[in-house]
Amino acid sequence: MIPAAFTYHAPRSLRDAVRLLRAYEGDARVVSGGMSLIPAMKLRLVQPEHLIDIGRLGELDYVRRTEEGGVAIGAGATYRSIEKSRTVAAVAPMLVETVRQVGDIQVRNRGTLCGSAAHADPAADAPATLLALDATFHTTGGPTRRAIQARRFFVDAYETVLGPTEVLTEIRIPKQPAHTGSTYLKFANKASRFAIVGVAAAVTVDRRGVCSRARIAVTGAGPCAVRATVSERYLTGRQMSEEAIAAAASRASRGMEFIEDVHGSEEYREHLTRVITQRALAEATQRAGA
Amino acid sequence: MRQVTLTVNGRRRTAEVEDRDLLVDLLREKLRLTGTHIGCDTSQCGACTVLLDGAAVKSCSLFAAQAEGAKVTTIEGMAKGDTLHPIQQAFHEEHGLQCGFCTPGMVMLLHEFLRRNPDPTEHEVRAALSGNMCRCTGYQNIVASALHAAQTLRGEG
- CATH code of B120's domain: 1.10.150.120
B75 touches chain A (CB under 8 A): no
Contact B61 A34 (CB under 8 A): yes
Q: What is the CATH number of domain A7-53?
A: 3.30.43.10
Rg of the Cα atoms in chain B: 15
For residues B12 and B51, membership in a common domain is answered with: yes
| Residues of chain A scoring pLDDT < 50 | none
Q: How many beta carbons lie within 10 A of that of residue A4, not counting itself?
A: 12
Write down the pTM of the prediction.
Answer: 0.96
Provide ipTM, 2 decimals.
0.97
Q: Which of 167-196 (A) contact B at CB < 8 A?
A: 191-193
Q: Which residues of A touch B113 (CB under 8 A)?
A: 105
A187 close to A195: Cβ distance less than 8 angstroms: yes
pLDDT of residue A245: 98
Residue B9 structural domain: 2-77
pLDDT of residue A88: 98
CA distance A250 to chain B (A): 33
For residues B32 and B51, membership in a common domain is answered with: yes
Contact A5 B19 (CB under 8 A): yes
Q: Which residues of B74-106 are buried (b: 16+ CB within 10 A; e: fewer)?
A: bbbbbeeeeebbbbbbbbeebebbeeebbbbbb
Q: Where are the domains of chain A?
A: 7-53, 58-173, 180-287
For residues B63 and B130, membership in a common domain is answered with: no
Contact A1 B42 (CB under 8 A): yes
- For A78-235, strand residue ranges (E) read 136-140, 146-149, 154-156, 159-160, 167-173, 180-188, 195-205, 211-219, 226-227
The distance from CA B31 to its chain's CA centroid, rounded to whole angstroms, is 16
B87 touches chain A (CB under 8 A): no
For residues B67 and B90, membership in a common domain is answered with: no
Assigned CATH class of A58-173: alpha beta
pLDDT of residue A148: 98
Rg of the Cα atoms in chain A: 19
- Name residues whose C-beta falls within 8 Å of residue B85's C-beta, 6 or more positions apart in sequence: B78, B79, B107, B111
pLDDT of residue A289: 87
For residues B8 and B71, membership in a common domain is answered with: yes
* Number of separate domains in chain B: 2
pLDDT of residue B157: 66
Q: What is the CATH number of domain A180-287?
A: 3.30.390.50
For residues B57 and B115, membership in a common domain is answered with: no
Report strand pairing: A63-65 vs A71-74.
antiparallel
Contact A34 B63 (CB under 8 A): yes
DSSP state of A177: P
